[in-house]
């Protein structure tokens, strides 16, 4: 029996997915566009665009063996797309990604690898208390979001137990939405941010992420658990990202078991690009300036003293740049 390749066999290229697809064949013109909503050991659960209520299990076609495919990827399928149990379609193309979140290497997995593609928003879920908030972790998530091309949202859970103001204040200069949630209030603010968008939820164990997912996604759609029935349950289940449909459109991607995002290859320039107000002043820095601390090389401090930039924004940028180097 030929050995089946899976996600673990893929060598992640250092670039950002710009390899020309010379193997693309014209006979795939009729392939059906679909989005990947679950991945398990080389099997992909996909929702075809023309039949979004259908879950089709697929494997990568021959020309795709070295192409990484993750939850959120836009792909093209050929073959039997009926979604019948036990039937496998073939995945013949992966479209360019608009964003990529990467998982940090760990003891069992030495490669930094993509876990979610094409998400618009990273929702960083953090409890106001119990467990105590860890701004260092939030900062690392922010770096991963800016680097991966996602807009961050901070969701502060358990606002019924403590005042979210201290932590909200810390992030105010960054200008992204901060939403506080509590069990006795509805999730209107969060719904309006996430509806019609693709968002990734990330949070450490105990912060209330599962409670949030259950409130955002009605029980019926949780039947996405079927994904695992289609593709088989196994060792990867606990760390696999799964895309769930929001009632009013859009998807939330849950990332159970993922403890942090990869920051190994993050460049200061990509983080800086999320600070448009400071990016212009940074053009006056010496080449190679990492903007980490006040120095003769860094033009950002004089931009602040000259009134062209905000001190709190610069402090936030420096905290994020420093967070890259701080282990969790």
Q: Binding site for Zn(2+), residues?
A: 285, 289, 291, 298
Least separation, in Å, of the C-beta of 160 and ligand GTP? Answer: 5
> Binding site membership for GTP: which residues?
157-160, 203-211
How far apart (Å, rounded) are the C-alpha atoms in residues 75 and 96? 9
Q: Does 247 bind ligand GTP (CB under 6 A)?
A: no
Q: Which stretch binds ligand GTP (CB under 6 A): 148-156, 202-210, 229-237, 258-266?
A: 202-210
Which is closer to ligand GTP, CB of 78 or CB of 162? 162
Q: Which is nearer to Zn ion, 200 or 298 (CB)?
A: 298
DSSP H or E run through 319: helix 311-323
321 binds Zn ion per the rule CB under 5 A = no
| Binding positions for ligand GTP, 273-292, rule CB under 6 A | none
Binding of ligand GTP by 203 (CB under 6 A):
yes
Q: Is 279 in the site for Zn ion (CB under 5 A)?
A: no
CB of 115 to Zn ion, least distance (A): 31
φ/ψ of 126, rounded to 5, equals: -140, 135
Under rule CB under 6 A, residue 183 binds ligand GTP: yes
Shortest approach of ligand GTP to residue 158 CB, angstroms? 4
Tell me: does residue 92 bind ligand GTP (CB under 6 A): no
| Contact between 163 and ligand GTP per CB under 6 A | no
E strands in 41-177:
43-48, 56-60, 74-78, 89-94, 100-103, 113-117, 121-127, 151-157
Residue 237 found at the interface with ligand GTP (CB under 6 A): no
CB neighbourhood size of 11 (10 A): 9
Burial, 187: exposed, middle or buried (Cβ in 10 Å; 0-12, 13-18, 19+)?
Answer: middle
Question: Which two three-digit tokens encode residue 181?
Answer: 């949630």
133 binds ligand GTP (CB under 6 A): no
Instruction: Give the helix ranges, DSSP H, for 149-272.
Output: 165-171, 188-194, 209-216, 226-231, 268-272
Contacts 24+ apart (CB under 8 A), 180-184: 180/128, 180/155, 180/156, 181/155, 181/156, 181/157, 181/208, 181/212, 182/157, 182/158, 183/211, 184/160
The nearer residue to Zn ion, 124 or 299, going by C-beta atoms, is 299
Comparing CB distances to ligand GTP, the nearer of 28 and 204 is 204
**Residue 171 — φ and ψ, nearest 5°?**
-100, -5
The rounded distance, in Å, linking the Cα atoms of 326 and 263 is: 10
Q: Residue of minimal CB distance from ligand GTP?
A: 208
Q: What is the DSSP letter of 3?
A: P
Interaction site with ligand GTP (CB under 6 A): 157-158, 160-161, 181-183, 203, 205-211
Interaction site with Zn ion (CB under 5 A): 285, 289, 291, 298
């Amino acid at each position: 029996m030929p050995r089946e390749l899976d996600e673990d066999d893929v060598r992640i290229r250092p670039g950002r997915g710009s390899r020309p697809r010379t193997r693309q064949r014209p006979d795939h013109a009729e392939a059906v566009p679909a989005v990947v909503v679950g991945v398990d050991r080389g099997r992909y659960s996909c929702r075809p665009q023309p039949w979004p209520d259908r879950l089709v299990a697929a494997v990568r076609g021959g020309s795709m063996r070295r192409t990484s495919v993750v939850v959120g990827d836009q792909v093209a399928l050929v073959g039997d797309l009926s979604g019948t149990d036990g039937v496998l379609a073939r995945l013949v193309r992966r479209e360019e990604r608009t964003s990529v979140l990467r998982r940090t290497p760990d003891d069992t997995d030495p490669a930094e690898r993509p876990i979610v593609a094409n998400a618009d928003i990273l929702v960083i879920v953090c409890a106001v208390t119990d467990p105590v908030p860890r701004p260092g972790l939030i900062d690392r998530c922010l770096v991963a979001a800016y680097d991966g091309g996602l807009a961050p949202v901070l969701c502060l859970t358990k606002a019924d137990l403590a005042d979210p103001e201290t932590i909200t204040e810390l992030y105010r200069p960054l200008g992204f939405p901060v939403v506080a949630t509590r069990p006795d209030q509805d999730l209107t603010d969060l719904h309006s941010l996430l509806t019609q968008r693709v968002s990734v939820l990330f949070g450490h164990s105990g912060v209330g992420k599962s409670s949030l997912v259950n409130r955002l996604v009605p029980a019926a759609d949780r039947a996405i658990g079927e994904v695992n029935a289609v593709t088989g349950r196994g060792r990867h289940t606990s760390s696999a990202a799964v895309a769930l449909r929001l009632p009013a459109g859009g998807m939330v991607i849950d990332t159970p078991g993922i403890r942090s995002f990869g920051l190994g290859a993050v460049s200061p320039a990509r983080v800086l690009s999320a600070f448009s107000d400071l990016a212009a002043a940074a053009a006056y820095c010496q080449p190679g300036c990492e903007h980490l601390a006040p120095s003769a090389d860094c033009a950002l401090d004089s931009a602040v003293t000259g009134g062209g930039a905000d001190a709190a924004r610069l402090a936030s940028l420096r905290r994020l740049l420093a967070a890259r180097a701080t282990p969790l």
